[in-house]
Amino acid sequence: MLDKVSRRHVLAGLGTGAMAAGFVPIAFEAAGASHPTTTSAPQKDRQWAMVIDMRKCDGCKKCTVACQETHHLPANFEWIKVFQVKDKQGREYFMPRPCFQCENAPCLRVCPVAATYRAKDGVVLVDQDRCIGCRMCMAACPYGARYFNYVDPPVPDKPYAKPTPEFPVSQQKGTVGKCMFCVHYTDGGKLPACVEACNMLALYIGDLVEDVATNGVETVRLSQFLRENDAFRYREELNTGPRVYYIAGHGQDLGY
Amino acid sequence: MDARTHELYVDRAMRNIGKTGVRWWVIAAALTACVAVGAYAWVYQLQRGLGVTGLNQKVSWGFYIINCVFFIGISYGGAITSAILRLTNAKWRAPITRLAEGLAVVALLVGAVYPLVDLGRPDRFLNLFAYAQVGSPVTWDWVAISTYLVASIVFFYLPLIPDLAVCRDVFGSGVRGLRGWSYRVLSLGWRGTPGQERLLLRGIGIMAVLIIPLAVSVHSVLAWLFAVTVRGGWHSTIFAPLFVLAAMLSGVATVILVIAGFRAAYGLQQFITQKHFRYLSYLLLALGSGYIYFMVSEYLTEGYVLEESTGPVLEALFVGSYAPAFWTFALGGLLLPLVLVALPGRYPIARACVASVLVIGGMWLKRFLIVVPGMAEPLMPWDWGIYQPTWVEIAITVGSVAAIPLGLMIMFFFFPVMSVHEMEEVEGVSEPAPVAAGRPVPALAGGGDA
């Protein structure tokens, strides 16, 4: 039903329909210590965000598998993890959890060597050449989004060039890795692996600056889409400022 | 101070220097074997990575972080015992300060290794300095620990200077090689002149004042390692003082065991008396009561509100899967030992020692109950983690426990086990205590006035 190739390149056209007014992204602090940045051509200003429509998610975990294949991760590395949630009324729904790329990221603050940093596009990256493996960030992350390479990671058949924070493949043993919204794809106008793999079209990658988001088939105006569907951020009260928005309504307990 | 008393002090403090017997070797060999197994386990882990431990994606801190807090806490107790007794000019301190200060150094050296053991990439250890981030609790930790390490070594060394001079004079040319050379060099030409005495007294006074905030800061930043996160059971304002008190409690308990051990092994019964155990027991009682108070305050305020993140942790501690460990700690590791030392009655030394063992075990368990459930608790509210340490973590832990008595035995192979200089300075230490039959009790008349 979906043509993968065409979906993948949808993002390149992002923004053409975006409106100037409307959603004003929050101000972002600049990236911290000097770090390698992406080498691709001059980029537009992006502030990546994700929308997860839990009404559509059927818990197939194709996103998890696609992520693991893309980044050559072992099976217990669920950079996007699909939780099966049973609410108080006994109803079940699924909640995929990527890294939330928090604007006020606890993991970033506690890193003793600035191996974790925020890139210009708002994505929190890990420089695995610098990480000392103290796992303070894992203690600090409220969402369990970080994964430590206790053992040697799987090596791709055709090894890639030197791993970068944007495309940390292969992972380095003894260091921490996590989801980075597939900036190695999005920078080139492609969809993140999980978004592309989602048959249910439940995952949207978006840009807060241009105020658009797409699941590869449908492109929406991000702020309006969030407002009209009563989107929320997980554990907003922690004030971490996640860049991932959830749309509830799959039968889960909304507290009333 | 008459010459005879001086002779006695020198004899008792120094007769074990450079001497080993069958018993010494047997104990040292057993301890060395434990340390060797631990060292082997560490090498094994260095070669294969942290994958050989029971740590996992959910519970990514375990025994190593627990042990780091535990041993640094013990060190802190040694330092603070000595510092407080010095600052309050408690005269009975004289025979035990050396052991307490030595324990502070040895326990800290052991505890300070643990952050390294816990690193996923110990080869990149220097990144901590090269890219140091002021905002990271890990940075606070290594700054505080290394500062405190230097301070505790100085704190051990300063009161040792006059004794090193005594060693130099007593052993004279009888000791050759490195040891004799060390005594000569490290005693810094001490002659006991009034000027030297004044300088030393001031130095020790400054260190005794300094070591308290330093030690408090070390244990506070260790607590903040946990308290600055949003995890249930960790994110607590009382954590820093709670950790400080826990450290003092376990430290004083360890001081009791150490002085009991050396008292028996080195025959120091006439210097380290029931009084010392009684006073240290009071200290233990006061600290333990304070700890209970802090803990009740923590659990009451958190348990009354039962926030989303703290609720599951408290439930697991009180009635859930961690309840057996928690109640073992609360009743057997805290309440029972305090009752043991609080009640009047016979065998004060034996009771103090049993209570200390219970307290030390209990405080280790408490650190476990802080670290592991805080890690295992469901942040995304529907998955608990499990943690099952492997032989590697257990071997390293056992090795490091054995390293403490071994380190002390080696330390007091070189240095006097009691401060001769201090015992001569301080009045009232010479009250002779009844000792076991068969051991001569030299008269100590007139002792005490310097």
For residue B182, which of B419, B413, B421 has the smallest C-alpha distance?
A: B413
Q: Which pLDDT does position B187 carry in this prediction?
A: 83
Q: State the smallest CA–CA distance between residue B253 and chain A in angstroms.
A: 30
Task: Report, in angstroms and rounded to the nearest whole number, the Rg of chain A calculated over CA atoms.
Answer: 17
Distance CA A129, CA B127 (A): 10
Instruction: Please check the confidence at residue A8 and state whether its pLDDT lies above 60.
Output: no
CB contact under 8 A, A133 and B133: no
CB contact under 8 A, B120 and A135: yes
Instruction: Indicate the residue type of A252.
Output: Q
Rounded to two decimals, the pTM is 0.87
CB contact under 8 A, A113 and B121: no
Could you tell me how many CB contacts below 8 A there are between chain A and chain B? Answer: 126
CB contact under 8 A, A111 and B127: no
CA closest to A239 among chain B residues: B230
Place of tokens 């040319």: B173
**Domain assignment of residue A63, yes or no:** yes
Distance CA B220, CA B266 (A): 36
Q: Which of A131-140, A236-245, B308-317 has the lowest mean pLDDT?
A: B308-317
DSSP string covering A55-110: TT-----HHHHHHHHHHT--TT--SSEEEEEE-TTS-EEEEEE-----TT-HHHHH
**Domain assignment of residue A256, yes or no:** no
CB contact under 8 A, A112 and B133: yes
CB contact under 8 A, A143 and B118: no
Which residues of chain A have a CB within 8 Å of the CB of B56?
Answer: 150
Question: Please, are residues A25 and A209 in contact by the beta-carbon 8 Å criterion?
Answer: yes
**Domain assignment of residue A255, yes or no:** no
**Domain assignment of residue A252, yes or no:** no
List C-alpha distances in Å: B235 to A198, B22, B375. Answer: 37, 51, 12
Distance CA B266, CA B357 (A): 21
Which residues of chain B have a CB within 8 Å of the CB of A142?
Answer: 229-231, 379
For residue A206, which of A101, A106, A125, A117 has the smallest C-alpha distance?
A: A101
Which residues of chain A have a CB within 8 Å of the CB of B51?
Answer: 150-151
Q: Which of A186-195, A216-225, B185-194, B422-431 has the lowest mean pLDDT?
A: B422-431
Q: Which pLDDT does position A21 carry in this prediction?
A: 35
- Kindly provide the ipTM of the predicted complex, given to two decimals: 0.83
- Residue A145 DSSP symbol: -
CA closest to B48 among chain A residues: A151
Q: Which pLDDT does position A29 carry in this prediction?
A: 37
Place of tokens 């009844």: B434
Q: Which pLDDT does position A61 carry in this prediction?
A: 93
Which residues of chain B have a CB within 8 Å of the CB of A148?
Answer: 50, 55, 57, 60, 120
**Domain assignment of residue A253, yes or no:** no
Total tally of structural domains belonging to chain A: 1
Give which of A80, A84, A135 to mutate to test B binding, by max B Cβ within 10 Å: A135
Helices (H) and strands (E) in chain A, counts: 7, 11
Q: State the smallest CA–CA distance between residue B378 and chain A in angstroms.
A: 9
Instruction: Please check the confidence at residue A33 and state whether its pLDDT lies above 50.
Output: no
Structure tokens at B7: 């002779």
Instruction: Please check the confidence at residue A22 and state whether its pLDDT lies above 50.
Output: no
Sheet holding A203-207, edge to edge: A219-221, A212-214, A203-207, A48-53, A244-247
Which residues of chain A have a CB within 8 Å of the CB of B127?
Answer: 113, 115, 130, 132
Distance CA B319, CA B335 (A): 19
Q: State the smallest CA–CA distance between residue B379 and chain A in angstroms.
A: 6
Q: State the smallest CA–CA distance between residue B127 and chain A in angstroms.
A: 6
Q: State the smallest CA–CA distance between residue A17 and chain B in angstroms.
A: 36
Residue B313 phi/psi, 5-degree rounding, is: -65, -45
CATH code (residue A202): 3.30.70.20
Which residues of chain B have a CB within 8 Å of the CB of A141?
Answer: 379
Question: Looking at the partner chain, which of A111, A113, A143 has a beta carbon nearest the beta carbon of B380?
Answer: A143
For chain B, the farthest-separated pair of C-alpha atoms sits apart, in whole angstroms, at: 74
H helix or E strand, kind and range, residue A240: none
Distance CA B438, CA B335 (A): 38
Domains of chain B: 3-425 (1.20.1630.10)
DSSP string covering B251-284: HHHHHHHHHHHHHHHHT-TTTS-HHHHHHHHHHH
Question: Looking at the partner chain, which of B57, B138, B379 has a beta carbon nearest the beta carbon of A148?
Answer: B57
Instruction: Indicate the residue type of A59.
Output: G
Domain hosting A234: range is: 4-33+44-247
Q: Return per-residue pLDDT of chain B as tens, 450 residues.
A: 566 777 777 777 777 777 788 888 999 999 999 999 999 999 999 999 999 999 998 899 999 999 999 999 999 888 888 888 888 888 888 888 899 999 999 999 999 999 999 999 999 999 999 999 999 999 999 999 999 999 999 999 998 898 888 888 877 666 667 777 788 888 888 888 888 889 988 998 898 888 888 888 989 999 999 999 988 889 889 999 999 999 999 999 999 999 999 988 888 888 888 888 988 999 999 999 999 999 999 999 988 988 878 888 898 899 989 999 999 999 999 999 999 988 887 888 888 999 999 999 999 999 999 999 888 887 776 778 889 999 999 999 999 999 999 999 999 888 888 888 888 777 544 444 444 444 444 433 333 333
Contacts of B61 (CB under 8 A, 6+ apart): A135, A139, B55, B118, B371, B375
**Domain assignment of residue A154, yes or no:** yes
**Domain assignment of residue A198, yes or no:** yes
**Domain assignment of residue A227, yes or no:** yes
Higher pLDDT, residue A19 or B88:
B88
CB count in 10 Å sphere of residue A80: 26
DSSP string covering B388-450: ---HHHHHHHHHHHHHHHHHHHHHHHHS-SS-HHHHHHSTTTT------TTS-----TTTT--
CB contact under 8 A, A150 and B127: no
CB contact under 8 A, A110 and B49: no
Q: Which of A46-60, A103-117, A238-252 has the lowest mean pLDDT?
A: A238-252
Distance CA B243, CA B70 (A): 10
Q: Can you tell me the mean pLDDT for A123-131?
A: 94
CB contact under 8 A, A112 and B132: yes
CA closest to B385 among chain A residues: A144
Structure tokens at B374: 């805080």
Q: Which pLDDT does position B239 carry in this prediction?
A: 93
Distance CA B147, CA B168 (A): 30
Distance CA A204, CA A55 (A): 13
Place of tokens 């959830």: A246
